[in-house]
Chains A and B, each alone.
Chain A
Amino acid sequence: MARITLDGIAHSYGPRPSVPDDYALKPLHLEWKQGLAYALLGPSGCGKTTLLNIISGLVQPSAGRLLFDGQDVTDWSTERRNIAQVFQFPVIYDTMTVGGNLAFPLNNRRLPRMQVQARVAETAAMLGLTDVLDRPARGMSADAKQKISLGRGLVRQDVAAVLFDEPLTVIDPGLTWELRSKLKAVHRALDLLMISVTHDQTEALTFADEVVVMNGGRVLQVGTPAELFERPDHTFVGHFIGSPGMNLLPAAVEGARARVDGHELALPGHYAKLGGRVQVGVRPDFVRLTAGPGLPVQIERVDDLGRLRLARVRLGDHPLVATVPPGVPIDGVEARLAIDPSRMHVYVDDVRVEPE
């Protein structure tokens, strides 16, 4: 399948939604292409699992259409859509062997036995399960069980897309790397469309070609990890991505300069007159403590993380996080900040505004 389109999809769990707050998923429009890995990233309750379940058919959307390659599949059953889904909690059929588990979806579709066996062998080889095919699935470890779940999804040749709902949550941290590499290998080999739900930004940024950041039932930004890092379209994205997140300061913007509490900051371009709540944002990576001239701040605390030092400072009333480059001394409470103007962004009512 070449692409998945979500056209005006919205969902409410209540019977008669009227105000936007009734909707767990506000109306959105997305297009996803085959062969890419997408991550749905956001905090708990942001609607990402709902969105995933709408794509797989476990939930019927209250509004909007779902299209696979231009075909309207909104009313199609889960089985008909031919997608695979791996859940947070490893789901295996206790009564069957590993091989039996892998064969299950094919047996349900009544495929001939030889074909089933061939597919099971192929899938097991891809996932490293060949040695345990005859063992009861019940006694396997959690990461093996997740591989089996994944295998059940991949065993169908014509599977349209593979969906993951926080699949690494129950896996021991030491084993997540192995499972993640397997996923990437499978992805490259089969050129599938993969969509993964997660609340862990590291997982999202390493797994995905493009990340969909969500909050409060809304899609805030879709972009590559680099785009999200360098040009967050929403203050939430700036704050959620990156550790620590973006600094945000309320400001008054005039032309190419912003005023924060009487201090002036240079902006990367000239801005038109702005109404609404205005903030400027800049990542700590581009805010440096400097020995030379700069904005005067008070240092509250310095965190030494080994490879870098982070200073928590105050500009007037506003807290900021800044990097301390090696070689810059810290003496006393007073210090000066240098901010790279090309890295500053302006947000009006939480949404980024481009310069003219």
Chain B
Amino acid sequence: MRAHDNRAWLLVLPVFVVVLFSAVLPLMTVVNYSVQDSFGNNQFFWNGMGWFRELLDPSSELGGRFLAALVRNLAFSAMILAIEVPLGILVALCMPRRGWRLAVTLVVMALPLLVPWNVVGTIWQVFARADIGLFGAAVNGAGIDYNYAGEPVAAWVTVVLMDVWHWTSLVALLCYAGLRAIPDAYYQAAKVDGASRWAVFRHIELPKLRRVLVIAVLLRFIDSFMIYTEPFVVTGGGPGNSTTFLSIDLVKLALGQFDLGKAAAMSLVYNLITLLVCWVFFTTLTQIDARREGAA
């Protein structure tokens, strides 16, 4: 039904130029760095696939470091998804449908999303401390030893909790939008058919939420995979490197140690992984859309 017209490229041109400038050009410099080595003083020489081989070899220092950070990221993403998705759905089911209650709920839920990420880090940096934070004091007061600066487990708990506090609202809001799109007739028919609350969820709400959930999982996975600021502010990657995620490690390499070649190689592999995940989700999404359109 859409007209085929290549002149539409004129409309797309501004976006194309902007993204070219902000994505392609920088990536080209990264590719450039990734195949070179330098002695400093801006003297570069060809290194071919050297950095990549080192990166993908777990026994090397670079490779080992990369693998460890990757594993940490995957574990982190798995944890936050396992909490945020069910919690988000639950909250969406509990949200009011209209009125002042809805306005208040929306505002309070949006607040964590609007906090600058470093302030999120600062908030939790303080909140989880035993000496000046309510949470830290309460947990320690209840008898549990909790010190995120000293113990890796506590550090992980803090970082995961912080992310759940920060982003569950996004999942909930997306699910809420999906739920509101379900026509009333479905709920009425379910009442007439005598369906239990669980049956309504399983047969009406969950199927309709499929598309929204794919989007939510995609966004949360990718954003948690790229996470930098919040853990950096709270733990700085520590204690030791127990919370050193891929972005943190990469920035350390690139802007801290100025190890351009290694950083560039790592950047490219990092980017490639995210692209792959993105592609998988995008395909799933188009499949869901195609099926929906075919059935309508």
Chain A contact residues, CB within 8 Å of chain B: 53, 56-58, 78-79, 83-85, 87-89, 91, 93-96, 104-105, 108-109, 138-139, 149, 152-153
Beyond A58-B192, A79-B194, A85-B189, 10 extra complex contacts between A and B, CB < 8 Å: A58-B191, A89-B183, A91-B186, A91-B188, A93-B203, A93-B204, A104-B195, A108-B193, A108-B195, A139-B294
B194/A105 in contact, CB under 8 A:
yes
Nearest-Cβ distance from residue A300 to partner chain B, whole angstroms? 44
The 3 nearest A-B residue pairs measured at CB:
A91-B189, A79-B194, A108-B194
A149/B207 in contact, CB under 8 A:
no
Q: How far is the CA of A53 from the CA of B188 in the complex (A)?
A: 10
B294/A105 in contact, CB under 8 A:
no
Residues of chain B in range 152-188 having any CB-CB distance to chain A below 8 Å: 183, 185-186, 188
Q: Is B196 on the interface with A (CB-CB < 8 A)?
A: yes
B189/A79 in contact, CB under 8 A:
no
A95/B186 in contact, CB under 8 A:
no
B188/A85 in contact, CB under 8 A:
yes
Q: Is B83 on the interface with A (CB-CB < 8 A)?
A: no
Q: How far is the CA of A87 from the CA of B187 in the complex (A)?
A: 11
Out of A79, A94, A153, name the residue touching B207 (CB < 8 Å): A94
**Neighbouring B residues of A85 by C-beta, 8 Å:** 188-189, 192
Q: How far is the CA of A138 from the CA of B192 in the complex (A)?
A: 20
Nearest-Cβ distance from residue B196 to partner chain A, whole angstroms? 7
Query: A-B pairs with CB below 8 Å: how many?
Result: 56
Which secondary structure dominates where chain B touches chain A? helix
B193/A87 in contact, CB under 8 A:
no
Chain B interface size, under 10 / 10 to 19 / 20 to 34 / 35 or more: 10 to 19
A-B contact pairs, 20 of them (CB 8 A): A58-B188, A79-B194, A85-B188, A87-B188, A87-B189, A89-B183, A91-B185, A93-B203, A94-B203, A94-B208, A94-B295, A95-B202, A95-B203, A96-B203, A104-B193, A105-B193, A138-B295, A139-B294, A139-B295, A152-B189
**Neighbouring B residues of A89 by C-beta, 8 Å:** 183, 185
Q: How far is the CA of A104 from the CA of B202 in the complex (A)?
A: 13
Q: Of all chain A residues, which has the CB nearest B191? A: A78
Nearest-Cβ distance from residue A165 to partner chain B, whole angstroms? 8
Q: How far is the CA of A104 from the CA of B195 in the complex (A)?
A: 8
Nearest-Cβ distance from residue B292 to partner chain A, whole angstroms? 9
**Neighbouring A residues of B185 by C-beta, 8 Å:** 87-89, 91
Q: Is B199 on the interface with A (CB-CB < 8 A)?
A: yes
Q: Of all chain A residues, which has the CB nearest B183? A: A89
Nearest-Cβ distance from residue B151 to partner chain A, whole angstroms? 45
**Neighbouring B residues of A57 by C-beta, 8 Å:** 191
Q: How far is the CA of A58 from the CA of B251 in the complex (A)?
A: 59
Q: Of all chain A residues, which has the CB nearest B210? A: A94
Q: Take A87-B185, A88-B185 as given contacts and tell me if A78 and B199 are in contact as well, using a CB distance cutoff of 8 Å.
A: no
**Neighbouring A residues of B204 by C-beta, 8 Å:** 93
Q: How far is the CA of A81 from the CA of B208 in the complex (A)?
A: 29
Q: Of all chain B residues, which has the CB nearest A153? A: B192
